[in-house]
Amino acid sequence: MALRLVISLILLSGVTACRKSSTSEKPAAAPPRIDACSLITNIEVQQIQGSPITDVKRSDQADGRFRTAQCFYNAETFNKSVSLALTQGDPASATPGDAREFWKATFGAYDGTAKEEKGDEEKKKSLREQDEEKGRPPKKIEGIGDAAYWTANRMGGALYVLKNHVFIRVSVGGPESEEAKINECKALAEKALSRL
C-alpha cells in the first residue's frame, strides 16, 4: 500500500506538471530549498530508534514543479534505520507546485477535502474497490502538523505529515508493532517539523 501510494504521488506530480494554469495569476514564490538531513539529528534518531547512526545519505529529485529531498539514516542495527523525505514546491522552477494542493489531491479522498467534480461518484466507487484490493486506506493521525496519515502494508509503513506548504514522509524499520512505529514516526516528525 505504501509503495503504491508513493508511486501514485510520483505519477500525480507528473500529471500535475503537465497541466497549465488557465488563470493569469502568478504562483506564490516557492519556499527556500530545504535540506532534509538538517531536520533531524543523528542523536535524535538514535534516541528514538535505540541504535547508533553509522551513516547518513542525502538525495534530491526535482520534476520542474516539485522537489523531494531525502535523508536516509543508516543505523548500526540496519532494521532500525530511518528514511525522511520532504516534498516542497521546486525553488528552482519558474512555476513551482504547491505541496498543499498536491496533498489535497492525494489524501483529500480520505478526509473529504477533495474537490467534487462531474463523475466523482463513479470514481469514488472505483477507488473504494481499489482500496479493498490493495488493503486498508491510509489512517488519519491526529495531533501533528496540519494533517497526517499513516500508510501501511505487510512490509512496513510510513507517516505523511503536511505542514504549511511542505509535507514530510517518515518511515522507520524494526520489529515493533504498527502502533509503536506510528509513535516513533510521530516523534521523529515532530523534531523535523520544529525545524521547518
pLDDT in tens, 13-23: 444 444 444 44
Indicate whether 101 pLDDT > 60.
yes
The band of 41, judged by pLDDT with boundaries at 50, 70 and 90, is: very high
Mean pLDDT, rounded, for 45-71: 96
Is 98 or 11 the better-scoring residue by pLDDT? 98
The pLDDT, as a whole number, for residue 54 is 98
Write the CB contacts of 169 (distance below 8 Å, at least 6 apart in sequence): 6, 83, 84, 85, 86, 87, 158, 159, 160, 161
The pLDDT, as a whole number, for residue 126 is 52
The pLDDT, as a whole number, for residue 122 is 54
The pLDDT, as a whole number, for residue 5 is 47
- Between CA 2 and CA 109 the distance in angstroms is 16
**Domains of the chain and CATH, by start:** 2-11+34-117+137-193 (3.40.1000)
Indicate whether 47 pLDDT > 50.
yes
Of 32-46, 47-61, 86-100, 113-127, least confident by mean pLDDT is 113-127
The pLDDT, as a whole number, for residue 6 is 45
Is 7 or 96 the better-scoring residue by pLDDT? 96
The pLDDT, as a whole number, for residue 120 is 53
pTM of the predicted protein model = 0.76
For residue 55, list its beta bridge partners.
Answer: 74
Mean pLDDT, rounded, for 82-90: 97
- Between CA 28 and CA 94 the distance in angstroms is 10
